[in-house]
Amino acid sequence: MIDLEETATQTGPKGVINDWRRFKLESMDQENLPPAKKELLRQMSSPSKPKDDTRANLNRKMSVQEYELLKEEDEGCLKKYRKRCMQEMHDKLSFGPRFEGVHDLASGEAFLEVIEKEHYSTVVVVHIYKVGVKGCEELNNCFNCLATEYPTVKFCRIDAVASGASERFSDEVLPTLLVYKAGELLGNFLACTQHLNEEFFATDVEAFLNSYGLLPEKELASMEDEEENDVE
């Protein structure tokens, strides 16, 4: 058995209550609390029961004083607590690698390597482009945005000439989007901008890929946006 102070995030009604109690204590500005509340916090965070009675201490019911103290907390703290719990859950369930930015592939060999050797759970999205072809530059800019939104997806781009297959990827079929996972081709979209409006943005490319179920769910994005809105 371990002390309440050392307990990790728990599940079940009692575990959640105790974990919330710990989070609440850590979040409060104790320097500006009145003496009575400081003493209550000391009792809550430093129980006087002996070590061999920590099970009873961990599972004890919340006192009226504790309840009154906890319910004074604003919604901001609760949202932070909820976000932390969700992040911990996500970290436990996420086993694949994470990436930063868009990866430029310099050759056909680099293209084959990223397809064949990437982690089996990683979605790889490749943009085959050519400088001067309509839509290619815009799609590259969209990739820059999407790479920050989906850190578990590997976004890559390669010049059609550098790929060694320029005869296969002529200007008429560019820009081309290829989507792979575990070495398997999941999506092959030639001249993909024909499926988009003449003026398109990252959200349009995202919606297009999602219409085929090719992107994973975003990570806590809705909660972060909600917190930013509350701050404003």
Tens of pLDDT, residue by residue over 25-81, are 566 555 666 666 666 656 655 555 444 444 455 455 556 555 555 555 556 666 777
Q: Which tokens hold the place of 230?
A: 């509350």
Cβ proximity of 5 and 22 under 8 Å: yes
Q: What is the pLDDT of residue 21?
A: 59
Q: What is the pLDDT of residue 4?
A: 37
- As a whole number of angstroms, the distance between CA 158 and CA 156 comes to 7
Q: What is the pLDDT of residue 223?
A: 45
- Size of the chain in residues: 232
DSSP reduced 3-state for 171: helix
Q: What is the pLDDT of residue 50?
A: 47
Please indicate, yes or no, whether the overall pTM of this predicted structure exceeds 0.85. no
User: Going from the N-terminus, what domains does the chain have, and what CATH number goes with each?
Assistant: 12-89 (no CATH), 103-212 (3.40.30.10)
Smallest CA-to-CA distance from 82 within 229, 220, 228 is with 220
Element at 184 (helix H, strand E): strand 184-189
Would you put residue 101 in left (φ > 0), alpha (ψ -120 to 50) or beta?
A: left
- For 118-137, the DSSP string reads S-TT-EEEEEEE-TTSTTHH
Q: What is the pLDDT of residue 191?
A: 96
Q: What is the pLDDT of residue 5?
A: 39
Q: What is the pLDDT of residue 3?
A: 40
- As a whole number of angstroms, the distance between CA 126 and CA 92 comes to 28
Q: Which tokens hold the place of 215?
A: 């992107």
Q: Which residues of the chain have pLDDT under 50?
A: 1-10, 49-55, 58, 222-223, 226, 231
